[in-house]
Amino acid sequence: MEILPSKTRRRKERPHVRVRGCALDVRWNAEDGIRRRKRVEYRSPAAAAKAEKEVAGRLENGLEPFQQAKEPAWTVSETLAFYLEQHGPDMKARSLERAKEHKRALAERLGGLRVETITFDALARYRRERMNDPSRPKAKEFKGTVGEVTVKKEVAFARAACRYALSVGRIASHPFNSLTREQRRLLFPREESRGRSLDAAEFEQILAKVRPHYRNALRFARLSGLRKGELCSITWEGIRGDVLMIGEAESKTGARRVPLTQEMRALLPPRPIRGGLIFTSPRGGRLYNALNSAWRDARAEAGSDARLHDLRHSTATALLDLVDAGAVGEVLGMSPATIKTYDHARFERARAAFEKMHSKTGANGAEGKDEARKTR
C-alpha cells in the first residue's frame, strides 16, 4: 500500500458553525462536494444563537444547514410584508407609519409581480406614474401631490425589503442588484446640495443632545471616516494591531485597511469574550437604525441640518489638506470621481484666498494707489 505524503492527503473538513454578535457564520461540505460558506445577519444575538442550534442539528443529521424553500417565488407584496413584519417592531411610530404608506403605494402598482421578474423598466414606470408624468395618459387621474423625495423613499424601501429577503434566503434574486450606475442615478437621483464639513463646535453641540450610548460610536465615525454601514458592521476580529480591517461584506467598495490610532482605540467599548460587533444598540443588536434615529433627533434639537454622512465628509476634507487624493481614496474607500465631490471645500478656501489677495492688491494688481503711482 502506497502512503502518500502528508501534503497530498486530503482531509475532510468538518462543518463549522459560529455566532459572532448578530451574525451566524456557517461552513459546510455541500452535496456537490464543494466547501461552501454563508453568513446570515439576525436582529439580535439571541436570534442568532437560536439559529445556530437549528443549523447544527441539521448538519448532524446530514442535511443542508439552511432549508431550501420550495414555495413559489415571492411577490412584491409578500416581500414588503415580510420586511415590515421583521423590522416593524424596532421602528418608531412615525417611521412605522411612513413604512406602511410606502408599502401601500408599492403594492398598489407592483404588488402582484414576482420579485425575480421585475425589470428596470417596471421600476422606472412606477416612478413616472407616482410623479405624475404628463406624457402618460393616466397622469391626469393623479393629483400631483407626490414629490420626488417621497418616490425616492418608496423605491428605497422596496430595495431594502428585497435585500433583506435575499440575505435570509427567501428570494433568489432581485432587480436592484443588476442595475447599472446610470439606472441607479435615475431611480435614486442625488440631491443638489452637497455635503459639508462639520467644525468641532457644531459637532459637539449635536453630540451633547445624543444619548450617551451612541456618543463614542459617532466620535469614532468622525475620526475614522467610515460609512454608517461600515461603522455598524465592523467586528473585533477585524482589529489587528494598529489596523482596522474592513471586509468585503462590510463595505460597498471592497476590503481595505484603516489606521487605528490611540484616539480611536480609546473610543472602543470593552471587548466581550465571544467578540462580534464592536458597536451595538443598547439591547445588543445592530446599531444601524438606532444610530440614524439618534443623530436625526439630536440634530433637530440642536437646530442643525448636518447629515450623519457629513462626518465622513469632514474626515475626507481634512485628509485632503494633508495627503494626496490617492492615499485618501485608499483609506476611505473612494474612487477618484467620488473624491472630487468631497474636494469642493478646498476650492471654496482658494476662492476666499483669491478675494483676500485681490482686496489688498486692487483691480490693477498693485498694492494700493500709491504703489501703482510709484511703478509708473
Using the predicted structure, report yes or no on whether residue 283 has a pLDDT greater than 90. Answer: no
| Cα distance between residue 343 and residue 321, in whole Å | 10
Copy the grid coordinates of residue 85: 413584519
- Measure CA 79 to chain center: 21
Is the pTM higher than 0.85? The answer reads no
* % pLDDT > 90, the chain: 28
| Cα distance between residue 7 and residue 94, in whole Å | 61
Mean pLDDT value across the chain: 81
- Measure CA 256 to chain center: 16
| Cα distance between residue 77 and residue 110, in whole Å | 8
The whole-number average pLDDT for the span 254-258 is 88
The whole-number average pLDDT for the span 219-230 is 92
Asked if 76 and 123 count as a contact pair (C-beta separation under 8 A), the reply is no
Residues 6+ apart with CB under 8 A from 12: 29
Q: Which of 21-35, 122-136, 274-288 has the highest mean pLDDT?
A: 274-288
The whole-number average pLDDT for the span 174-201 is 80
Residues 99-109 as b or e (16 or more Cβ within 10 Å = b)? beebbebbbee
Residue range 22-66, pLDDT digits in tens: 888 888 887 777 788 888 887 778 878 888 888 888 888 777 787
The whole-number average pLDDT for the span 217-230 is 93
The whole-number average pLDDT for the span 1-17 is 56
The predicted structure's pLDDT at residue 79: 92
The whole-number average pLDDT for the span 232-243 is 92
Helix spans in 196-324 (H): 200-207, 212-224, 228-231, 262-265, 288-302, 310-320
Query: Residue 169 carries which side chain, given as an amino acid letter?
Result: G
The whole-number average pLDDT for the span 324-346 is 79
Of 112, 108, 102, the residue nearest 159 (C-alpha): 102
The predicted structure's pLDDT at residue 1: 39
In this prediction, residue 219 has a pLDDT band, given cuts at 50, 70 and 90, of: very high
Using the predicted structure, report yes or no on whether residue 112 has a pLDDT greater than 80. Answer: yes
The predicted structure's pLDDT at residue 362: 58
| Cα distance between residue 66 and residue 38, in whole Å | 10
The predicted structure's pLDDT at residue 346: 67
The predicted structure's pLDDT at residue 14: 82
The whole-number average pLDDT for the span 202-207 is 94
Question: Looking at per-residue confidence, does 354 or 334 come out higher?
Answer: 334
The predicted structure's pLDDT at residue 142: 38
Asked if 328 and 320 count as a contact pair (C-beta separation under 8 A), the reply is yes
